[in-house]
């Protein structure tokens, strides 16, 4: 082998190593802290609460919808909530359930966080959960006891997304919904499940309209 070829080989190897290193660094920078994802959600939630009366139900929904789409892994959550029946659904049916489930999550937050009364939405810390992370938070109210809400986060689409919510820190929202969804699917099929989710959204909207 000639010296020039050896030198070219070394340069090529060095360039490859640099590209790989830069690629790893880019991925590390692109993936934010899971705590920051929840803080971003809480920031939007808090500003929405403070303007809750002015925005109304539809305004709160419109403000929260794109944030929930970005920070919640709704397709994975819908799949886990439906359970084993998910594999029996067609691609079209799966997409319909995902859309209906996203509407339901957004309407739930728009309804429950409708006004501001001095609440503090605190992100406390995190703990590992296999390849995922549990982000621990508290909702501190002026008069009532603090409420613990923990979020299971998974790395997806270059960010940390919410994959489940634990009420009182331990009660999986998806596990509760899976039991409810299973009963509906057994009785009424996937169309019944979509109708039930749409009905919940309508009920939340009507209740919000009455209280405003």
pLDDT at 141 over 70: yes
Instruction: Give buried/exposed letters for 170-183 (b at 16+ CB in 10 A, else e).
Output: eeebbeebbeebbe
Own/partner pairs for 143-152, CB < 8 Å, 24+ apart?
Answer: 151/38
Measured CA to CA in angstroms, residue 33 lies from 38, 155, 156 at distances of 9, 10, 12
18-75 pLDDT per residue, tens:
444 544 444 444 567 999 999 999 999 999 999 999 999 999 999 999 999 999 999 9
Query: Given pLDDT bands bounded at 50, 70 and 90, which one contains residue 1?
Result: low
Residue 122 CA to residue 42 CA, distance in Å, equals 8
| 64 CB burial (10 A radius; 0-12, 13-18, 19+) | buried
Phi then psi for 205, rounded to 5 degrees? -65, -45
Residue 80 CA to residue 60 CA, distance in Å, equals 27
Residue 101 CA to residue 193 CA, distance in Å, equals 10
83-102 pLDDT per residue, tens:
999 999 999 999 999 999 99
As a whole-number percent, the residues of the chain with pLDDT over 90 amount to: 75
Return the structure tokens found at 184: 């509906």
Residue 93 CA to residue 157 CA, distance in Å, equals 23
Residue 198 CA to residue 78 CA, distance in Å, equals 14
Number of Cβ atoms within 10 Å of the Cβ of 152: 22
At residue 210's C-alpha, the angle toward residues 204 and 211, to 5°, is: 90
3-class DSSP assignment, residue 29? helix
Q: What integer pLDDT is reported at residue 204 of this predicted model?
A: 84
- Residue tagged 């919940």 (tokens): 200
Q: What integer pLDDT is reported at residue 2 of this predicted model?
A: 52
């Amino acid at each position: 082998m000639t010296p020039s070829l050896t030198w070219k080989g070394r340069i090529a190897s060095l360039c490859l190593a640099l590209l790989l290193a830069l690629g790893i660094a880019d991925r590390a920078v692109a993936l934010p802290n899971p705590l920051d994802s929840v803080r971003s959600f809480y920031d939007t939630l808090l500003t929405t609460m403070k303007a809750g009366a002015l925005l109304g139900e539809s305004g709160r929904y419109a403000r929260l919808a794109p944030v929930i789409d970005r920070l919640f892994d709704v397709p994975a959550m819908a799949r886990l909530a439906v359970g084993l029946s998910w594999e029996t659904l067609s691609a079209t049916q799966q997409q319909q359930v995902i859309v209906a489930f996203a509407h339901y999550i957004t309407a739930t937050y728009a309804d429950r966080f409708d006004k501001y009364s001095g609440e503090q939405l605190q992100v406390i810390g995190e703990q590992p959960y296999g390849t995922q992370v549990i982000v621990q938070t508290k909702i501190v109210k002026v008069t009532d006891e603090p409420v613990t809400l923990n979020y299971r986060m998974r790395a997806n689409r270059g960010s940390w997304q919410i994959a489940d919510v634990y009420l009182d820190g331990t009660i999986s929202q998806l596990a509760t919904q899976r039991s409810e969804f299973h009963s509906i699917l057994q009785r009424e099929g996937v169309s019944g499940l979509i109708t039930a989710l749409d009905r919940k959204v309508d009920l939340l909207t009507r209740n919000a309209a009455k209280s405003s």
